[in-house]
Structure 1
Amino acid sequence: MRQRLHWLAMHGVVRTVANVAARRGDPQARMVADPAVRADPVPFYTELRPRGPMIRTRVGYITVDHAVAHELLRSDDFRVIVLGANLPAPVRWLERQTRDDLLHPLRPPSLLAVEPPEHTRYRKTVSSVFTSRAVAALRDRVEDSAADLLDGLAAGPGVVDIVDRYCSQLPVAIIGDILGVPEADRPRILEFGELAAPSLDVGLSWPQYRRVQQGLAGFNLWLSAHLRHLREHPGDDLMSQLIEASEDGTHLDETELQGVAGLVLAAGFETTVNLLGNGIRLLLNSPDQLARLAEDPTLWPNAVEEILRLESPVQLSARLALRDTEVAGTSVKAGEMVVIYLAAANCDPAVFDDPHRFDVGRPNSGKHLAFSGGRHFCLGAALARAEGEVGLRRFFTHFPDVQLAGLGNRRDTRVLRGWAELPVSLGSAASPGRPNRHFAETV
């Protein structure tokens, strides 16, 4: 009963109100309740753009404007959202009375849900471990892991779900190695991630909510045991260093350490799975761009930026006004929420020419906001870029004849955008001296 009441407060009421408001055309309600928006958000935010930089909704504002999004992500007049904090007062009281004590990515002490001074202290601890030098040293490991996975694919069936067999396996191998996750536990991490991925969304159905809770509970239990094991048997992995850093100088308590470590672990692979899947689908749909990459491999880093821009793994963020302020000529009152539509900002024609065209050579593709910005800029951005570049380049080099073998299925999530399944026909693996098909077509 307690769990059912929490679902009602956190999702059921929102779901009901959104269904009614969506029928009346409220844009924020449509983001929650309209399956067409989730399936293909481009027509939706293209429709919103002429309405200006700040679009009024029933419960706040939405912006699809790149300049406004850039400003909001860095503004000290706004803070990140804490799960349930912007619910109406009676519903918010019920949510607080019935919530469990599981760690959640949108509740403190998660980095996604706190502001300075706590955010500064947590981020400093993680940054002391995830240094630029440490991430740069991981590139060889990414190369080796990708090669091993692709060799395994070549020895298997010709048609595979590339998300299951490659896009998810590469990030979990890397994050597993650097954070001390035993090989035997990695399938469980993938399972927990799949179950908990919709936890960033609001308006979940009761079955979705139950699956999310199952994933969060399993992950919480596993993480506690994993951190306890690393305390007793520290290794040279970065998670062991994170535990040591929390005990020497910054003094994170146990809950704070679990919150920080859990977010690093989960965020270290979930969004990268989406980056790889989105990239494979985009490139298979764009043989001309794949041919450009075969002819000029130096374009691969820029291609990853373009994939992040055009198919942002994280579609949305939100901020809550701390005080009465003004944004793009619009008065925003303290406590009002602004949804920052990152995916729409990344296709703003004021910044990106012909914004829906996929162009691996686009000169300003790196101006995207896929990694957020300001103090909440993604700590794992450099690692995600490396995994995206190496993972995609090696995949298409290894399987030059790969083709789509079906439509695939998108993840049933709104904040995160990626593929749950993407069947491909691998074709023959490349052999030494064999010309790449895409390159051959360009000469």
Structure 2
Amino acid sequence: MALRRRIRWVVRHGLIRLTVQRQVRSGDLGSRLMIDPAIREDPFPYYDELRSQGRIVTSGLAMMSAHHDVCLAVLRSPDFGQMRLDLLPGILKLGMKIGGRSVLGPIEPPSMLVTDPPQHTRYRKLVTRAFSARAITAMRPRVEEIAEDLLDEVARAATAGSTVDLVERYASLLPATVIAEMLGAPVAMRRQFLDWGAGAALSLDIGLSYRDFRRSELDIAALHQWMLGHFADVRRARRDDVLSTLVTAHDQGNLTIDELSSIAMLVLAAGFETTVNLLGNGAVLLMRHPEQLAVLRAQPQRWAGAVEEILRHESPVQRTGRVALRDTEVAGRPVEAGSLIILLLGGANRDPGIFPDPHRFDVQRPEADQNVAFSSGTHYCIGAALARMEGEVGLQTLFRRFPDLALAGTPHRRPTRVLRGYDEIPVRLNSPTAPGTSVHASATSRSRDVP
């Protein structure tokens, strides 16, 4: 097994790692954006530099773009599909065969992240109802209750002026609790889900070290094994929820066991990954920009718009890739079938052509909702409405309960490059307020039409 895993790593990451490292030494900016850890902390000047080189820039293994209109056009175009490792050419495909079957990761078919219509459409229909606008509205009071309960625990365990890790105690637990309840999974296992999810998130990056690749495969395999056992629990007590729907579809012959497992694992992990980053990024931005937090305290109806600005300014997902399914054209440039294009979503969300003074964080920015943080087109994030609602409730409740919340050190970035967030945010709680009523946003506060 160790030998086969090593072969899989060479095919999927090792060869690409060597190629990109060579291109980095030659000064290729796009390759640096892919693997250079020094850029991870602040990639935005490099996005600006790449954008200045052209609307589409050829860089080593792929084309790249940090232009908002180019990214939007590719994401919405039927001429482009998802990258798939099972479509690797020649010797790489042979290496994949020798390496044996991989784990059911988020970038392995039949994951919804890498399938295109009609398969993707079939999978998506099975989970859409759970994430509809009506369903999310109905969930809001429960999310408010979970946020209050978590902050009660933080307040009880801390003394005024004490330091806690905001990610560990709150930003990770809020979305993990919500998605666990949605799937009928044991809430007591939420920290284990977060650990497995962190390992799975590594697999989204290219050029992984063997150590990270091994961790990713082991964590995904452990999650898969647990999920297979959980399906039996679901069958014994079916509910009106997304996981029961998926299990029923499998039992009726409409999903294979791999399809069932892949969709269920993706819904679980994706159900908290983006929101953990949204909450952490948002909390840090507001602590570093107290004048913006003051605006929200004076005008709480702006919280929904603030979440859009957080998503724009610090996109939880920084990049995605597409492959041309046929000869086509983008931004006046011919693109051959099979060509790979990397869309720098974090750069697109700071495109000055769409967002004036793009590096300024402004919760009153009128065009913030034009961000592409949740992608667009066929693969628009199915959980976007849930993440937005959790972000609004989670941040508003946090700063109401701890109005003097302040950083107690430098937040630590996650090691991932596709996902952007923090894995540690040390904060001082200072003077917490007593538990009060939940933050029930009025119809006005939820409106995007704020003057």
TM-score normalised by the chain length of structure 2: 0.92
Q: Find the counterpart in structure 1 of residue 34 from structure 2.
A: 32
Q: Find the counterpart in structure 2 of residue 410 from structure 1.
A: 413
Q: Find the counterpart in structure 1 of residue 204 from structure 2.
A: 200
1:253, 1:382 → 2: CA distance?
A: 28
Which of 388, 392, 405 pairs up with 1:389? 392
1:321, 1:357 → 2: CA distance?
A: 34
Deviation at 1:170, TM superposition (A): 0.1
Unaligned runs of 5+ in 1: 434-443
CA offsets 1:18-38 (integer angstroms, 9 cap, x no match): 111011122332123312222
Question: Secondary structure at 2:403's aligned position in 1?
Answer: coil
8 Å CA contact 2:411–2:425 kept in 1: the answer is yes
Aligned AA for 2:116?
E
Runs of 4+ in structure 1 off by over 6 angstroms are none
1:147, 1:242 → 2: CA distance?
A: 31
Which of 346, 354, 370 pairs up with 2:357? 354
2:134, 2:35 → 1: CA distance?
A: 44
Which moved further from structure 2: 25-34 or 153-162?
25-34
Which of 5, 8, 21 pairs up with 2:7? 5
Aligned AA for 2:267?
V
Q: How does 1:174-213 map to 2 (within 5 A)?
A: 174-213=178-217
Which of 290, 293, 311 pairs up with 2:296? 293
1:305, 1:99 → 2: CA distance?
A: 43
1:128, 1:244 → 2: CA distance?
A: 15
2:321, 2:191 → 1: CA distance?
A: 32
Check 1:363–1:99 CA distance in 2 against 1; reply closer, same or farther (3 A cut).
Answer: farther
Q: How does 1:268-287 map to 2 (within 5 A)?
A: 268-287=271-290
CA offsets 1:362-394 (integer angstroms, 9 cap, x no match): 001000000000110010011000000000000
1:101, 1:91 → 2: CA distance?
A: 14
Deviation at 1:228, TM superposition (A): 2.0
Q: Find the counterpart in structure 2 of residue 369 from structure 1.
A: 372
8 Å CA contact 2:302–2:364 kept in 1: the answer is yes
8 Å CA contact 2:250–2:257 kept in 1: the answer is no
8 Å CA contact 1:231–1:240 kept in 2: the answer is yes
Q: Find the counterpart in structure 2 of residue 98 from structure 1.
A: 99
Is it true that 1:329 corresponds to 2:332 in the alignment? yes
8 Å CA contact 2:127–2:242 kept in 1: the answer is no
Which of 167, 173, 176 pairs up with 1:163? 167
8 Å CA contact 1:129–1:241 kept in 2: the answer is no
Q: How does 1:194-343 map to 2 (within 5 A)?
A: 194-245=198-249, 247=251, 251-343=254-346
Q: Find the counterpart in structure 2 of residue 48 from structure 1.
A: 50
Which moved further from structure 2: 206-215 or 351-360?
206-215
Check 1:425–1:125 CA distance in 2 against 1; reply closer, same or farther (3 A cut).
Answer: same
Aligned AA for 1:177?
E
CA offsets 1:203-241 (integer angstroms, 9 cap, x no match): 001111111111111111111111121012223443223
1:432, 1:39 → 2: CA distance?
A: 36
Q: How does 1:142-153 map to 2 (within 5 A)?
A: 142-153=143-154
8 Å CA contact 1:320–1:335 kept in 2: the answer is yes
CA offsets 1:50-79 (integer angstroms, 9 cap, x no match): 111110112220011100100100101110
Which of 20, 30, 46 pairs up with 2:22? 20
Check 1:100–1:28 CA distance in 2 against 1; reply closer, same or farther (3 A cut).
Answer: farther
Question: Secondary structure at 1:112's aligned position in 2?
Answer: coil
Is it true that 1:430 corresponds to 2:433 in the alignment? yes
8 Å CA contact 1:15–1:32 kept in 2: the answer is no
Is it true that 1:66 corresponds to 2:38 in the alignment? no
Aligned AA for 1:124?
K
Which moved further from structure 2: 298-307 or 44-53?
44-53
Q: Find the counterpart in structure 2 of residue 438 from structure 1.
A: none
Aligned AA for 2:381?
C
Q: What count of residue pairs does the alignment treat as equivalent?
A: 431
Q: Find the counterpart in structure 2 of residue 441 from structure 1.
A: none
1:365, 1:130 → 2: CA distance?
A: 23
Deviation at 1:99, TM superposition (A): 4.0
Aligned AA for 2:182?
I
Aligned AA for 1:397?
R
Question: Secondary structure at 2:64's aligned position in 1?
Answer: strand
CA offsets 1:410-443 (integer angstroms, 9 cap, x no match): 000010000011100011111489xxxxxxxxxx
Q: Tell me the C-alpha RMSD between the 2 structures.
A: 1.6
Q: Percent identity?
A: 48
CA offsets 1:114-162 (integer angstroms, 9 cap, x no match): 0111011111111144332222111011100000001111111321110
Q: Find the counterpart in structure 2 of residue 109 from structure 1.
A: 110
